[in-house]
Chain A
Amino acid sequence: MAANPMTQFEVYRIGPEIKVGAFDISFTNASLFMVISSLAILIIFNLGSKKNSLLPNKIQLLAELSYTFVSKMISDTAGSKAKPYFSFIFSLFMFVLFCNMFGMIPYTFTVTSHIIVTFVLAAFIFIGVTIIGFIKHGIGYLKLFVPSGVPIVLLPLIVVIEIISYLSRPISLSVRLFANMMAGHTMMKVFGGFVISLGVVGGWLPLSFSVALTGLEILVAFLQAYVFAILTCIYLNDALNLHH
């Protein structure tokens, strides 16, 4: 009866097929929402930074609150050494947040519900953080895998576990965001389908559920963006301040 709840995640081409060599880089609905999210961020923050009044207007306040929010998040988790990476983490947080939030509008496409997108972001962060760690600490960055105060007997095991947990970082980071977004949207779609199949008589219960889920999903959309950004900060902290 109801449409397949997974069809909402389908990617389709908008406009002509674009091929570079063997690669298909056609403009798709996913690309469209990436562009929309980026443009929305740029427009909002451009408006928010345009003029500087002592008493900020609403949009300026929004931009400045976001700025201080992210800057406080970074300084709390990664310390003052992470300042050069502020722009990147800010862009990352805003990009994920806006993609998540645009996905909450009905009949839109959620960019972050695709494992390939989140994985590319996570892999980029992973590789970047590893490179930063090796640049800052040289070969000593490998000490990250050898926690201090561990008995010698346990050391081989601990090192293996640490290496596995380090290597699984991009996977856990990307799957967390992707799975959260996909599960939430699938569930909303399922409940929306119930509303239709039960009709006017019995559809009110799933409809109210849908309304409640929308609120929850908006919270999740923000929370997942925050978690994504704060985990990036924590990984960066490991690379910048080698504590182990």
Chain B
Amino acid sequence: MVKKIFFQLIFFNLFFLKEVFAAESGGMPQLNPEFWISQIFWLTFTFGILYIVLSKLILPKISANLELRKSQIQENIEAAEKQRESSEAKLKEYDDIVSKSKLEANNIFKEARENALKEINAKKETLDKQIDEEIKKVEQEINLLRKGASEKINKIAIETTSELLVKLIGTEVNNSSISAIVDDLSKRNGDKYYGN
């Protein structure tokens, strides 16, 4: 109820206001020429000022702003493109460097390996030679010793035999006959005594 009265109050107020403004009623106010001149004058005046201010001051600014933004965006795009290109180039450079250094490392490794192998081989060869020489020397010595040994043994055998004969029989036997026997024995059984 209170709401209804409130609404009606508002509406009636507006209604009375309207009544105050409405000077006359009936017909189309648009066709009343009383204020035509005034409207034409004020239209020309306001629209003229609007046109002049817009065309001289505001629109050039907006168009400049738009142009500036366009060029700025274009510039930014170009700069980004440039940076992208340079970064790509750098990436390529980096890749090149990496692959080059890899190759180099491989080469160095290979070289080092070859060098090491060569050194090892050289040392081995010299060592082998030395060993061979030593062996030869030792063999010669052994051979010398062996030859010397049989003669010495023969001599010992001859002397021992002559001493034994002197002690057993009391007579001296000719050394040459003993040595002939010993030689003969040693020749026959040399293999058995010295072995090979």
Select which of B19, B28, B41, B61 is within 8 A of A6 by beta carbon: B28
Binds B, one of A40-48, A73-81, A162-170, A229-237: A40-48
Assembly CA distance A46 to B59 (angstroms): 9
Shortest Cβ distance from residue B27 to the other chain A in the assembled complex, whole angstroms: 7
Q: Which of B28, B30, B49 has the most CB of A within 10 A?
A: B30
Q: B170 at interface (Cβ–Cβ under 8 A)? A: no
Whole-angstrom distance from the CB of B74 to the nearest CB of chain A?
12
Q: Which of B26, B30, B43, B54 contacts A4 (CB 8 A)?
A: B26
Query: Is residue A64 contacting chain B, with contact meaning CB distance below 8 A?
Result: yes
CA distance A203 to B29 in the complex (A): 28
Chain B residues positioned under 8 Å from A48 (CB to CB)? 62
Check B43–A34 contact: CB distance below 8 A: yes
Interface of A is mostly: helix
Q: Which residues of A contact B63 (CB under 8 A)?
A: 67
Given contacts A9-B28, A12-B21, A28-B38, contact A38 B4 (CB under 8 A): no
Hey, what's the 0/1 contact readout for B10-42 against A, CB within 8 Å counting as 1?
010001011101111111111110111111111
**B41–A28 CB distance below 8 A:** no
Q: Which residue of A lies closest to B14 (CB)?
A: A107
> Contact at A38–B38, with CB atoms within 8 Å?
no
Q: Which of A48, A94, A111, A117 has the most CB of B within 10 A?
A: A117
Roughly how many angstroms separate A231 CA and B61 CA in the complex, as a whole number? 27
**B31 to chain A: which residues have CB within 8 Å?**
115
Residues from chain B with a CB closer than 8 A to the CB of A120 are: 39-40, 43-44
Q: Which of A25, A42, A54, A60 contacts B53 (CB 8 A)?
A: A42
Partner of A24, one of B35, B43, B57, B65: B35
Which B residues touch A86, using CB under 8 A? 59
Q: Is A148 an interface residue (CB 8 A)?
A: no
Residues of chain B whose beta carbon lies under 8 Å from any beta carbon of chain A: 4, 7, 11, 15, 17-19, 21-32, 34-44, 46-47, 49-51, 53-55, 57-59, 61-66, 68-69, 72-73
A interface residues (Cβ-Cβ under 8 A, vs B):
3-4, 6-7, 9-13, 23-28, 30-31, 34-35, 37-38, 41-42, 45-46, 48-49, 52, 54, 56, 60, 63-64, 67-68, 86-88, 90-91, 94-95, 107, 111, 113-117, 120-121, 178, 182, 196, 200
Report, nearest first, the 8 A-B pairs whose CB atoms are least far apart: A87-B55, A31-B42, A7-B22, A49-B61, A52-B65, A34-B46, A25-B41, A38-B50
